[in-house]
Amino acid sequence: MAEITYRDALNQALAEEMERDDSVFLMGEEVAEYDGAYKVSKGLLDRFGELRVVDSPISELGFAGLGVGAAMVGLRPIIEFMTFNFSLLALDQVINSAAKMLYMTGGQINIPMVFRGPSGAALQLAAQHSQAAETWYVHAPGIKVVTPATPADAKGLMKAAIRDDDPVAVMEGELLYNVRGEVPEGDHVIPLGLADVKREGGDVSIITHGKTVHLALQAAKRLEKEGIEAEVLDLRSLRPLDVDAILATVRKTNRAVYLEEGWPYVGVGAQVAATIQEEAFDDLDAPVLRVTQADVPMPYAKNLEQLAKPNAERVIAACKRVLYRT
Amino acid sequence: MRETATKKGSLEGFSREEVLNMLRRMLFYRRFEEKAEEGYAIGKIGGFCHLHIGQEAAAEGCIGPLREDDYVVSAYREHTQALAKGMDARHVMAELYGRSAGSSAGKGGSMHIFGTEQAFMGGHGIVGAQVPLATGMGWAIKYRGEDRVAMCFMGDAAVNQGAFHESLNMAAVWELPVIYVVENNEYGMGTAFHRVSATRVEDRSVAYGIPSSAVNGQDVLEVWRHFQELVGQVREGGGPRFVEVRTYRFRGHSMSDPVSGTYRSKDEVTERTERDDPITLLRDRLFEAELLTQEELNSLDQEVRAEVQEAVDFADSAPFPDPSELYTHVYSCINEHGRLFFDGRDR
């Protein structure tokens, strides 16, 4: 296995799938000549030409809708949002067109497309450039959402998303692009809907997705020094959601903490907590707690930003609370 | 930049048979919409139902010159455009009735008529949202090197949406084979276009360098001639075109809205419907040219009414969708792993 960056893993996935299927094209701001705002599409213009790697104007609603229209007649567009913050401009096309098309056509028109880009906060980018977009997307039936945390997952989930016949949002992490990790050689595809235990442990389950998987692992490492074995479950895919894996870890540890970058209200953790209490109530020894971003727009000042983001201390504190330890 | 239609008003260039077919089809659209109106009044059709009555020449004259495999995309006042593109009236009426035999299996209703076999691509309910979709179909045509055309209908109010402007810019930059058709019926629901618009409809594509033109949308022959020319230009690689089709909405915005009231007077509606009826205008021209008699017209109307009644009978006798259909067509691919529905369904 080769060790590569998350960025290169995504680049490989895009290139391999474009090679495999002529109907796949990539469109978005800066994806072609500039090689991508985060260099994910580096070299693809030279390799596939300007009809398949397309620089769009800054018109998120327009080019997202163009992608949906192209998908309606059988192409398989990959629409890149420079970040998912800007995709709020495109939500009408994502929700009202892409997610609902199959249903309102009575099954006549499916939308085989991918919306991708980084989601969540980076560093000191302030309110409008720092938000987790998962909830906006995962809320709507008709769309699928994946949030890879490692290079291997990034490649495998991106390839599965491109091959899926429904709209899939692939939410990457701006701070993950330089993360290195081993990626299996060959046609590495990870099916949607499969969570992954990133660390085994028997005392408490930290369930999370996306970038905060790494934070969960840091917290687990520190808990280990205090004699607490935390299991870290990375959902990887939010819709379809691997409920079996969630219930399995809860049945194993009887205690769960949900960790996410986004706001708490109707967040992914709220859904997971609801699912756990509905289906594994008798297995719980403590209420499910959540560690999220503070319920405020992201501040700019460094110290305030640190306070707003979930951190290892808060994860550790939540784990101890569900273990009734102080 | 502007191109104007020539040979206005004459029958020149069309055979008697061609013109009679246009008349017959427009009559068919009118009778279809009247039956939809009736179905709504007696509670067989629910929700929003936007009628195209008075605008039939736009459906017939714009779509008539298209090829079967050309795409048509529209908004929510689209019943007759679906029929003009070749969809079966029985399936369209059954969709309005919310029945399983409907074109969208009863899941779309009046605002979401789709017929992929006829390349009729909806049926979209958010003002202006169909414009990027049509642009994407134009992109797909270019991508595949086909010689199809995508035609995008919208109402006048859509030209004030951002989606419209973003789309026209992209279509111009990439020279996409899309004809943007604004059916200007003068009102966005109950707001007159000029009250909320800084510039005229026909000026709206000029900023993007897309050739613009305007036609009298009540004269089906003028509309047909003009679109025949435009379709040819676009098919031959001429890039996008923008057309204002000037028409008038004879009914309220939807079936639940008044025909006249605070936003337009009863007198205005009476005057315009009497003066500008596209069917009457064509009929009178045929009478004058002695190409049609009252008896022939009566029998044509009888035929059309019978055909529409057959669609109504088909719709009314079709079953409602089976309750099991609630969960179908949400995803085309149910993944092997994980849960897709969260309402307790797959527990």
Of A92, A144, A275, the CB nearest to B126: A92
pLDDT, residue B194, reads: 95
Whether B31 is covered by a domain: the verdict is yes
Residues 6+ apart with CB under 8 A from B307: B28, B89
In percent, the amount of chain A with pLDDT more than 70 equals 100
pLDDT, residue A286, reads: 98
Determine whether the interchain pair B132/A108 forms a contact, defined as Cβ–Cβ distance below 8 Å.
no
Rounded-to-integer distance, Cα B240 and Cα B172, Å: 6
Residues 6+ apart with CB under 8 A from A22: none
Domain count, chain B: 1
Whether B265 is covered by a domain: the verdict is yes
- Residue A106 corresponds to which tokens in the numbers above? 């009575």
- Segment A115-148, tens digit of pLDDT: 999 999 999 999 999 999 999 999 999 999 999 9
| CATH number of domain containing B270 | 3.40.50.970
Nearest CA in chain B to A237: B338
- Chain B residues close to A237, C-beta within 8 Å: 337-338
- Residue A227 corresponds to which tokens in the numbers above? 């004699």
pLDDT, residue B7, reads: 39
pLDDT, residue A48, reads: 98
- Segment B262-307, tens digit of pLDDT: 999 999 999 999 999 999 999 999 999 999 999 999 999 999 999 9
Q: What residue spans in chain A does CATH classification 3.40.50.970 cover?
A: 2-183
pLDDT, residue B5, reads: 33
- Segment B9-64, tens digit of pLDDT: 468 889 999 999 999 999 999 999 999 999 999 999 999 999 999 999 999 999 99
- Reference B178, options B223, B226, B231, B125; nearest CA is B231
Rounded-to-integer distance, Cα B183 and Cα B201, Å: 10
- Residue B41 corresponds to which tokens in the numbers above? 């009044």
What is the extent of the structural domain holding B313?
16-327
pLDDT, residue B10, reads: 64
A69 band by pLDDT with thresholds 50, 70 and 90: very high
Residues 6+ apart with CB under 8 A from B24: B300, B303, B304
Tell me the CATH architecture of domain A2-183.
Answer: 3-Layer(aba) Sandwich (3.40)
Residue B135 in contact with residue A69, Cβ under 8 Å? yes
Q: Is B332 on the interface with A (CB under 8 A)?
A: yes
Specify the 3-state DSSP secondary structure of B166.
Answer: helix
Query: What is the ipTM for the molecules in this complex?
Result: 0.96
Whether B316 is covered by a domain: the verdict is yes
Rounded-to-integer distance, Cα A98 and Cα A109, Å: 10
Helix axes B89-96, B294-317, angle to 10 degrees: 50
Whether B62 is covered by a domain: the verdict is yes
- Segment A271-326, tens digit of pLDDT: 999 999 999 999 999 999 999 999 999 999 999 999 999 999 999 999 999 999 97
Hey, which residues does A77 pair with through a beta bridge? A25
Q: What residue spans in chain A does CATH classification 3.40.50.920 cover?
A: 196-322
- Round the average pLDDT of chain A to a whole number and report it: 97
Specify the 3-state DSSP secondary structure of A169.
Answer: strand
- Residue B215 corresponds to which tokens in the numbers above? 């036609």
Q: List the CATH code of the domain at A196-322.
A: 3.40.50.920
Confidence check: pLDDT of B231 > 70 = yes
- Residue B153 corresponds to which tokens in the numbers above? 């209908």
Nearest CA in chain A to B140: A70
Determine whether the interchain pair B116/A110 forms a contact, defined as Cβ–Cβ distance below 8 Å.
no
**How distant is the Cα of B202 from the closest Cα of chain A, in angstroms?**
21
Whether B337 is covered by a domain: the verdict is no
Q: What is the DSSP letter of A143?
A: -
Rounded-to-integer distance, Cα B297 and Cα B281, Å: 13
Of A105, A242, A275, the CB nearest to B338: A242
Confidence check: pLDDT of B8 > 50 = no
Residue A25 in contact with residue A54, Cβ under 8 Å? yes
What average pLDDT does range B328-342 have in this prediction? 97
